[in-house]
Amino acid sequence: MTEVRTRFAPSPTGYMHIGNLRTALYAYLIAKKNNGKFILRIEDTDQERYVEGAIDVIYNTLKLVGLQHDEGPDIGGPYGPYVQSQRREIYSQYAKKLIDIGGAYYCFCSKERLDALRQECERKGIPFKYDGHCRNISREEAEERIKRGEQYVIRQKIPATGTTSFHDEVFGTITVSNDSLDDNILIKSDGMPTYNFANVVDDHLMKITHVVRGSEYLSSTPKYNLLYKAFGWEIPTYIHLPLIMKPHGGKLSKREGDASFEDFYNKGYLKEAIINYIALLGWSPGTDEEIFTLEELKQRFSIEGLSKSPAVFDINKLRWMNGEYIRSMSLEEFNELAMPYYKKAIKRQDIDYMKLSRLLQTRTEVLGEIPDNIDFIEELPDYDVNMYANKKMRTDLNNSLEYLKKAYEALQGVDKWDDEHIHEALFKLIAELGVKNGQVLWPVRTAVSGKQFTPGGAIELSSLLGKEETLRRIKIGIEKLSNV
């Protein structure tokens, strides 16, 4: 059996789009499930789009998420070079060969002529299509003109009549009429190939068996198929992946911070959760299961589970999944991961971070939100006194003041400052006063945090802050309430 070989062929754009990472993941999984090879190829023929450091972004992201390639620019392999800009000679040879066998031709049309043609199409309201002006220039004439120094490109010669069919594993069999296809440029005037040519030559020479890519390439695939046929090359298995849309339509966009892996990673989404989530953007295991490690995905992934309907990128689902990963960690692991976020908000030395982690682990969905949730630990915010009044807790500004004063006294008498003893003191007070728990706990929680929403209640927060600081903050609360 032939070895399964897939490739990830990103263009160095400077960031890893979520859709590209999904392509990489699926290509990786298809290779690994079949004990095959996963190849990394850099598609940098569009030199105008060159971005400094962009290739490192690709290496670093793949490494970080664990999609280790078996061949690629940095590790070599039998079919290199794996960077397209280093393969110019190869494309040029194959383009000439294609001209020899009648699958391509030299085109000398000037920019002005093409612009005029484009305008004409626009006026008529039809999509631009090259009119075949140079299709029938003889080989001799073409070579003569090139010798004279005329600028040229090489175009694909699409059959004028008939249809082209290809099969895609996800989208089924697609047939198009050849007259709807454009004689695309294969080699540009600067000698660089276009994606349209390079992808076919490379996939063939690198022995790629399964071409996995986004469905935006689906409409060009008939042209690629014609190239394979013209060369007499074996056609790979095509696997085009569905679009990824936002819940209310539209594409994910870098500007809105919802398109790149880095955006999510830097916000404090775990790499495992991101990978797990994007695995399900277009693939389903056929059951209700949703949590998969990369190892599990290697076993479970199957081409049959791919869907052609657009996948919806649901940030709430990703948040939930991230929370699931956070909750499944050990406390120590969570504490270590959360530490950089703690340090952003807290400079005080006397905080028991394990205690804080115990509070936060079950309440955190995205690590990046930790600093805002715990900023009150460092410094009591200047809060609105009306926060003490809470209908549900049956508190108003008067009873809050009264119970807060009592709580102050009760807490002053606590010798061993921990959850258990603080709990004992406050509940004893609640019993003595004969009030609802919330009538004492809400004012205390408000006084120690100054916030509506906190990770933990009055007892946990007081315990975390320490006796002195807790009493200091309650005193501030009493003063605030007294001045109303």
Q: Is 182 exposed, middle or buried (0-12, 13-18, 19+ CB in 10 A)?
A: middle
11 binds ligand GLU (CB under 6 A): yes
Binding segment (CB under 6 A) for ligand GLU, from list 6-14, 186-194, 305-313, 341-349: 6-14
Q: Is the separation of the CB atoms in 407 and 456 below 8 Å?
A: no
Q: Does residue 19 bind ligand GLU (CB under 6 A)?
A: no
CB of 11 to ligand GLU, least distance (A): 4
Residue placing its CB nearer to ligand GLU in the complex, 210 or 213: 213
What's the closest the beta carbon of residue 9 comes to ligand GLU, in angstroms? 4
- Joined together, the tokens standing for residue 314 give 């649901």
Nearer to ligand GLU, 225 or 395 (CB): 225
CB atoms near residue 169 (< 10 Å): 17
Answer whether the bond into residue 81 is a cis peptide, omega within 30°.
yes
Cα 58 → chain centroid: 13
Q: Residue 9 or 422: which CB sits closer to ligand GLU?
A: 9
Structure tokens belonging to residue 288: 């209700």
Which member of 4, 5, 6, 10 binds ligand GLU (CB under 6 A)?
Answer: 10
Residues 201-220: x where in contact with ligand GLU by CB under 6 A, - otherwise, as a string: ------------x-------
User: What stretch of H or E contains 1?
Assistant: none
Q: What minimum distance in Å lies between the beta carbon of 37 and ligand GLU? A: 16
Transcribe 256-303 into DSSP letters.
Answer: GT-SBHHHHHHHT--HHHHHHHHHTSSB--SSS-----HHHHHHH--G
Among 37, 38, 40, 43, binds ligand GLU (CB under 6 A): 43
Number of residues that bind ligand GLU (CB under 6 A): 6
Separation CA 437–CA 17 (nearest Å): 50
Given a contact cutoff of 8 angstroms between Cβ atoms, the answer to whether 464 and 355 are in contact is yes
Q: Which of 366, 466, 451 is nearest to 418 (CA)?
A: 466
> Which one of the spans 4-12, 50-58, 135-143, 230-238 is the region binding ligand GLU (CB under 6 A)?
4-12
- Considering the complex, what minimum distance in angstroms separates the CB of residue 49 from ligand GLU? 10
Return the number of the residue (61 or 361) whose C-beta is nearest ligand GLU. Answer: 61
Q: How far is the CB of 24 from ligand GLU (least distance, A)?
A: 9
* 44 touches ligand GLU by CB under 6 A: no
Query: In this chain, which stretch among 7-15, 47-55, 333-341, 383-391 interacts with ligand GLU, using CB under 6 A?
Result: 7-15
Interface with ligand GLU includes 199 (CB under 6 A)? yes
Nearer to ligand GLU, 9 or 186 (CB): 9
Residue 372's CB: how many other CB atoms inside 10 A?
12
Nearest residue (CB) to ligand GLU, 43 versus 365: 43
Question: Minimum CB separation from ligand GLU for residue 367, in Å?
Answer: 29
Q: Is 335 in the site for ligand GLU (CB under 6 A)?
A: no
How is residue 483 annotated by DSSP?
Answer: T
Answer yes or no: 124 catalytic. no
Residue 311: enclosing H or E segment and its boundaries? strand 311-312
Nearest by Cα to 165 from 175, 151, 154, 153: 175
Shortest reach from residue 84's CB to ligand GLU, in Å: 9
Cα-flanking dihedrals φ and ψ of residue 270, to 5°? Answer: -80, 145
Question: CA–CA separation, 274 vs 325, rounded Å?
Answer: 10
Are the beta carbons of 99 and 57 closer than 8 angstroms?
Answer: no
Q: 3-state class of 469 per DSSP?
A: helix
Which of 188, 207, 254, 355 is catalytic? The answer is 254
118 CB-near residues (< 8 Å, 6+ apart): 128
* x/- track of binding to ligand GLU for residues 148-187 (CB under 6 A): ----------------------------------------
Tell me which of 4, 5, 6, 9 binds ligand GLU, using CB under 6 A: 9
Binding residues for ligand GLU, per CB under 6 A?
A: 9-11, 43, 199, 213
Instruction: Report, as residue numbers or ranges, the catalytic residues.
Output: 254
